[in-house]
């Protein structure tokens, strides 16, 4: 097993950073995590954990804990808005439904929903205290002085670390810098592979919130019976309408996580309060959507904008595709999770991808060490392959879900109705990111080497 004398530096204490730290430690490396926040001020929301990510958590010894705390998903449903003449409110009609058991042909396929804050806490608790340096910001990679031997650059990186309330930055030497600092990654900027200024608002936004179902009942918004019938505890449900989607799933018994996505101009919907704007947007959607928005406190509704990548070359219009081919490492610096050109199309896949990245990287490093950067190269190539296919299909899904013209919506419903349930199931599961354990992004080369 490979090992370095100095610890690896992981920038960012989100899901990607903590999983990287854990996986690297399990693979025998020393790790320091730099986190700019003083506490883990995590926005609470439901995170679906699909097969590949569960496999990672199992391998890290956390699978049992996750299963204990999370709510299983056994069924996914897509419903479409239908017009009714008699009532103002629209109803929804299920156009696709499938169980995960059907997909796994008998043996129960595992998928769960968990509170993101809880996931982060579980990861954090599994690390020895002192691994994460809070209130500590990555300030940049210190360039080697002109004339320094090129060899030394390959061996160690010097990283500038800024501690809160301390004027003088620290300099820390590390054999490996892992950028897990989110979609506006500073590490990525310092690696010089892509600039955050290339990120463009993609024309749609996601909002999300959590609702205690007893509140719906106590406020007479819905009866207990209506709640039981509408919010089936192990079904992930998504309603597709004109230019938007509304989905919900149980996060823990009695606590529902909802999200909605819609086309929006950049200046239209970004400012709080979100609630009145969402109620206006979704006013003729099914009653449960309105009630869920109504029952949420404004402060607990969060927004997450979708971004595209513009081309670095102004003459090229193929920025997004270009980004999907960009390497996620340079020298001894490597990107994981959202820092590595997150595609924000299908937001429910980001957390799973972050965990899979972290695990794949640690596995490759334990196998190849840092010799000639083979591990980083394989990691980067595998990730490109995986995210490219996923990004393309997710873009297609989101594109279709954003349709606004009524005749296109009718066509969409017809297609969903006609496609066989098995084909729909496979397509949908690949879109939301249900990867089987064997599909983890480890290249054939590394598999052979095991």
Ligand X SMILES: Cc1cc2nc3c(=O)[nH]c(=O)nc-3n(C[C@H](O)[C@H](O)[C@H](O)COP(=O)(O)OP(=O)(O)OC[C@H]3O[C@@H](n4cnc5c(N)ncnc54)[C@H](O)[C@@H]3O)c2cc1C
Work out whether 354 is an interface residue with ligand X (CB under 6 A): yes
Name which position in 7, 8, 9, 14 contacts ligand X (CB under 6 A).
Answer: 14
Among 9, 22, 31, 34, interactor with ligand X by CB under 6 A: 34
Binding residues for ligand X, rule CB under 6 A, total 32
Instruction: Assess 398 for contact with ligand X (CB under 6 A).
Output: no
Give yes or no for a contact between 179 and 333, defined as CB atoms under 8 angstroms apart: yes
Whichever of 186 and 442 has its CB closer to ligand X, that residue is: 186
Cβ proximity to ligand X, 12 vs 409, nearer residue:
12
- Phi/psi at 54 (nearest 5 deg)? -65, -40
Q: Which of residues 204-263 bind ligand X (CB under 6 A)?
A: 208
- Whole-angstrom Cα distance, residue 353 to residue 60? 16
Q: Which of residues 289-328 bind ligand X (CB under 6 A)?
A: 302, 304
The residue among 273 and 449 lying less far from ligand X, judged by its C-beta, is: 273
Stretch of 279-287, 318-326, 327-335, 346-354 contacting ligand X, by CB under 6 A: 346-354
DSSP string, 171-191: EEEES-EEE---TT-HHHHHH
Shortest spacing between CB 200 and ligand X, in angstroms: 17
The residue range among 8-16, 23-31, 227-235, 270-278 that interacts with ligand X, by the rule CB under 6 A, is: 8-16
- Phi-psi region at 384: left, alpha or beta (left = phi > 0; alpha = psi -120 to 50): alpha
Q: Give the bridge partners for 214, in sequence order.
A: none
User: Does residue number 16 form part of the binding site for ligand X (CB under 6 A)?
Assistant: yes
Handedness of CA 188, 194, 195, 196 (dihedral sign): negative
Q: Does 20 bind ligand X (CB under 6 A)?
A: no
In the complex, what is the shortest distance from the CB of residue 49 to ligand X, in angstroms, rounded to a whole number?
Answer: 9
- Chain positions 93 to 122 lying near ligand X, rule: CB under 6 A, are 116
Handedness of CA 277, 283, 287, 289 (dihedral sign): negative
By beta-carbon proximity to ligand X, the closer residue of 186 and 364 is: 186
The binder of ligand X chosen from 8, 21, 27, 47 (CB under 6 A): 47
Output 252 or 302, the one with its CB closest to ligand X. 302
Q: Does 13 bind ligand X (CB under 6 A)?
A: yes
Helices vs. strands in the chain: H and E counts, helices first: 17, 19
Show the site string, 257-296: x = touches ligand X by CB under 6 A, - = not: ----------------------------------------
Instruction: Confirm or reject binding of residue 35 to ligand X (CB under 6 A).
Output: yes
CA of residue 373 relative to chain centroid, distance: 27
Stretch of residues binding ligand X (CB under 6 A), selected from 12-20, 86-94, 147-155, 320-328 = 12-20
**170: β partners:** 161
Dihedral angle computed from the Cα positions of residues 187, 188, 189 and 193, in that order, rounded to the nearest 10 degrees = 150
Smallest distance, ligand X to C-beta of residue 123, A? 10
What number of CA atoms fall less than 13 Å from residue 126's CA on the CB side? 25
Quote the least distance from Cβ 206 to ligand X, whole Å. Answer: 7
By C-alpha distance, which of 169, 112, 117, 109 is closest to 140?
169
Query: What is the rounded CA–CA span in Å between residue 26 and residue 4?
Result: 14
DSSP symbol at 122:
H
Q: Which is nearer to ligand X, 103 or 207 (CB)?
A: 207
CA separation for the pair 74, 64 (Å, rounded): 18
The span from the CA of 114 to the CA of 46, in Å, is 5
Minimum distance from residue 371 beta carbon to ligand X (Å): 27
CA-based torsion, 91, 205, 424, 228: positive or negative: negative
Which element (helix H / strand E) includes 95?
A: strand 91-99
**Contact between 179 and ligand X per CB under 6 A:** no
Contact pick of 347, 397, 401, 432 for ligand X (by CB under 6 A): 347
| Interface with ligand X, residue 186, by CB under 6 A | yes
Query: Can you say whether the dihedral through the CA atoms of 430, 354, 254, 221 is positive or negative?
Result: negative
Q: Which residues bind ligand X (CB under 6 A)?
A: 11-17, 34-37, 43, 45, 47, 116, 137-138, 180-182, 186, 208, 302, 304, 337-339, 347-348, 350-351, 354
């Amino acid at each position: 097993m490979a090992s370095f004398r100095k610890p690896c530096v992981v920038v960012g204490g989100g899901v990607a950073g903590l999983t990287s730290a854990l996986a690297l430690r399990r693979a025998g490396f020393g790790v320091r995590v730099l986190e700019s926040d003083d506490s883990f001020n995590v926005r609470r929301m439901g995170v679906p954990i699909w097969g590949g990510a569960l496999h990672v958590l199992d391998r890290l010894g956390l699978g049992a804990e996750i299963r204990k705390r999370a709510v299983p998903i056994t069924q996914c449903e897509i419903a479409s808005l239908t017009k009714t003449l008699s009532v103002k409110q629209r109803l929804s009609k299920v156009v696709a439904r499938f169980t995960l058991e059907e997909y796994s042909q008998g043996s129960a396929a595992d998928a769960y929903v968990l509170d993101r804050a809880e996931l982060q806490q579980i990861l954090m608790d599994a690390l020895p205290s002192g691994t994460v340096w809070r209130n500590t910001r990555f300030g940049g990679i210190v360039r080697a002085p002109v004339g320094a031997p090129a060899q030394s650059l390959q061996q160690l990186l010097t990283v500038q670390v800024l501690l809160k309330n301390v004027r003088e930055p620290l300099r820390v030497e590390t054999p490996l810098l892992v950028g897990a600092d989110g979609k506006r990654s500073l590490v990525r900027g310092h690696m010089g592979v892509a600039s955050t200024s290339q990120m463009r608002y993609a024309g749609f936004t996601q909002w999300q919130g959590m609702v205690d179902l007893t509140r719906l009942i106590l406020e007479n918004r819905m009866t207990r019976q209506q709640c039981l019938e509408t919010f089936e505890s192990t079904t992930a449900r998504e309603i597709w309408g004109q230019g938007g989607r509304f989905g919900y799933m149980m996060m823990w018994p009695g606590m529902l996580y909802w999200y909605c996505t819609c086309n929006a101009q950049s200046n239209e919907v970004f400012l709080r309060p979100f609630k009145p704007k969402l109620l206006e947007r979704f006013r003729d959607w099914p009653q449960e959507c309105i009630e869920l928005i109504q029952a949420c406190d404004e402060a607990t509704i969060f927004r997450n904008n979708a971004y595209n990548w513009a081309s670095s070359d102004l003459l090229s219009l193929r920025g997004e595709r270009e980004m999907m081919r960009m390497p996620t490492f340079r020298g001894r610096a490597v990107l994981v999770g959202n820092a590595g050109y997150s595609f924000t199309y299908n937001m429910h896949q980001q957390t799973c991808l972050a965990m899979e990245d972290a695990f794949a990287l640690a596995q490759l490093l334990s196998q190849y060490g840092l010799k000639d950067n083979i591990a980083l190269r394989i990691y980067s190539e595998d990730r490109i392959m995986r995210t490219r296919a996923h990004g393309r299909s997710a873009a297609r899904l989101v594109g279709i879900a954003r349709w606004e013209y009524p005749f296109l919506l009718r066509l969409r419903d017809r297609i969903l109705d006609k496609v066989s349930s098995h084909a729909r199931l496979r397509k949908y599961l690949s879109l939301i990111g249900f990867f089987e354990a064997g599909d983890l992004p480890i290249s054939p080369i590394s598999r052979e080497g095991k």
